[in-house]
């Protein structure tokens, strides 16, 4: 399922669990925002295009971060006048993660819950074998580098001799 949403004067095609960067929206990191300016919704078999928006369609999104975008350099220049002005601009942005897309008459698509990362426990016998194997590889790499450096430095070319100099003629 996907939808086309309009926010900040721009249009974004989103699916559940997508991350989008939009112009600043009110809300702290971790809060949930509801976007209701949906222009089109499709669930694969059904497509609903709004005139101009789809009535009753909503997108739920979580605010991941409130930040500032990259700096844009604005340069004013007039030729032959010695007129140059440089300014910079950084746009305030909001990073959103789409949680759910819902529209009347269509199935609601939700983002899948991701399991939390659990560190893998390694047994003592496996850990010792891994440590012993690493130094053997490192010794082989350094030996190969020294051989190639000696071979490359041995051959030198002589400078080509020039023709008659001006004093001889």
Task: Return the sign of the alpha-carbon dihedral for residues 21, 24, 30, 33.
Answer: negative
pTM metric for this prediction: 0.60
Round to whole Å and give the CA distance between 74 and 83.
14
42-66 pLDDT, tens digit per residue, is 988 889 998 999 999 999 999 999 9
The larger pLDDT score, comparing residue 123 to residue 57, is at 57
Q: What is the pLDDT of residue 111?
A: 74
4 has pLDDT over 90: yes
Asked if 35 and 19 count as a contact pair (C-beta separation under 8 A), the reply is: no
CB 108 within 8 A of CB 101: yes
Residue 15 has pLDDT above 90, yes or no: yes
Q: What is the DSSP letter of 151?
A: H
**Confidence (pLDDT) at 146:** 55
- Token digits of residue 31: 């809060």
Q: Give 133 or 165, the one with higher predicted confidence.
A: 165
Q: Convert 145-158 to b/e letters by CB count within 10 Å (16 or more is b).
A: eeeeeeeeeeeeee
CA angle at residue 152 from 148 to 154, to 5 degrees? 120
């Amino acid at each position: 399922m996907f939808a086309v949403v309009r926010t900040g004067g721009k249009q974004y095609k989103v699916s559940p669990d997508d991350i989008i960067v939009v112009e600043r929206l009110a809300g702290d990191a971790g809060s949930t925002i509801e976007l209701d300016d949906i222009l089109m919704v499709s669930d694969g078999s059904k497509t609903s295009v709004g005139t101009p928006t789809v009535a009753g369609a909503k997108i739920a999104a979580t605010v991941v971060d409130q930040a500032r975008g990259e700096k844009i350099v604005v340069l004013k220049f007039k030729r032959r006048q010695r007129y140059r002005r440089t300014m910079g601009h950084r746009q305030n942005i909001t990073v959103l993660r789409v949680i759910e897309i819902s529209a009347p008459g269509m199935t609601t698509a939700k983002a899948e819950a991701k399991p939390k990362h659990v560190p893998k426990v390694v047994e003592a016998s496996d850990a010792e074998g891994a440590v012993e194997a690493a130094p053997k590889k490192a010794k082989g790499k350094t030996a190969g580098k020294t051989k190639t450096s000696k071979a490359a430095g041995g051959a030198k070319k002589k400078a080509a001799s020039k023709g008659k100099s001006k004093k001889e003629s």
